[in-house]
Amino acid sequence: MYIQYIDLYIFYEQVFISYILSKVTIEVGKITPGGIFAMKCEKSGDNYYFTYKDNTYTHINEQKTFKIQDIDNAFETLYTMVKEGIETQPKEATILEFPDGFLYLMFEKSFGVKCVRFGHATSKSESAVVGYSSLFTKKQIDKLFGKAEK
């Protein structure tokens, strides 16, 4: 579905009409502990966009986004990988390669609770900028992927 915007410009008695088509995004899920934004997932067509607050630096409020194209059920596969990783707690990070960079799934315990942290490299170069999300529990991951019980 598309939303169509029409802009009308008047320039020296000539009228210009500009059409802008904008693809609609649907929010799949969001993690906001204590009302503070941590991460969200939105769907637009066959693409899923994950936007997270980069926790690399504590005093800089920056958000980064990575995209999953849902080919061969990639969205559900990622959800399953994250859920299984939270349960099994592998010692090494799981590294997923995308056309525009890498996604790292790092599993650890925080105060005895099994969690996952996303790491995201913005390109494939060795000097790529890497952003890190907060730690998320299984319940928060269910909410992010739109699987939380209603």
Domain boundaries, the chain: 26-144
pLDDT at 33: 92
Residue 42 CB: number of other CB atoms within 10 A? 17
pLDDT at 9: 47
Q: Which two tokens stand for residue 66?
A: 């990575």
The pLDDT tens digits along the chain (150 residues) read 444 444 444 445 554 545 555 567 899 999 999 999 999 999 998 999 999 999 988 888 899 999 999 989 999 999 999 999 999 999 999 999 988 889 999 999 999 999 999 999 988 877 788 899 999 999 999 999 999 775
Q: How far is CA 103 from the centre of its chain?
A: 10
Q: What is the pTM of this model?
A: 0.81
Buried/exposed code over 110-142 (b: 16+ C-beta within 10 A; e: otherwise): eeeebbbbbbbbeeeeeeeeebbbbbbbeebbb
Architecture in CATH of 26-144? Roll (2.30)
Report helix, strand or coil for 72. coil
